[in-house]
Amino acid sequence: MMLNTDLESTIAYLLLGGNLGNREENLDQAIDLIGKGIGEIEVISSRYETAAWGKTDQPSFLNQAVAVKTRLSAIQVLEKALEIEQVLGRVRKDKWGERLIDIDLILFGNEVIDIADKLQVPHPHMQSRKFVMMPLAEIAPDIVHPVLGKTILDISENISDQLDVNKL
C-alpha cells in the first residue's frame, strides 16, 4: 500500500480488544504491527478489563486505546487494521462474539466519514460504550467529538453504560 503524499499526518484513535488466548500478548503484537503498518504510535492507554458487551456468555475482554499519527487515509487505516487482525489470527464468527483481537477505528482527526457498510467515523456507538470511552478519555480527554461537540472526557463522565470496566 502506498502512502498518500498529499495527505498531512492525522491522528487516528483506535480501540483494541480481545478476550481469547494471551490477551496481553495479543494487544502488544497488535500495537507493534500498528506502529509498523499504520503510523507512529503517539500514546497508548492503560489496559482495561471489561465484561463482555452484547453477547455476555463469554470471557471478559482487555481493551486499550491507541493514538497513531498516520499519513494513510481513514479507509487505508481500516484496511490495515483488518489485515493486522488477520495476521494475529482473528476469525469473524458471531457479532460481538469471542475474538483474539479486534481493532476499531474510533476517531480520525476531526473528520466525519460515512461510507455505507464499510466505515463510519466517529464510531457510531462510541459515546454509549464505557469500554471505548474510558481508555479513550485517558489518552484524549480534550478531543472534541466532531458530531456531538463535547469532549471525550465529558462524554465518558456522563455515559449511561453500566458495564463493568476496570483499569488494570
104 is a catalytic site residue = yes
94 is a catalytic site residue = no
Q: Residues 23, 90, 114, 154: which is the catalytic one? A: 90
- Total number of residues shown for the chain: 168
99 is a catalytic site residue = yes
102 is a catalytic site residue = yes
Q: Residues 23, 47, 99, 129: which is the catalytic one? A: 99
Q: Residues 71, 104, 129, 142: which is the catalytic one? A: 104
Q: Residues 23, 47, 102, 129: which is the catalytic one? A: 102
- Inter-residue contact 76 to 56 (CB < 8 Å): no
List the catalytic residues: 90, 99, 102, 104
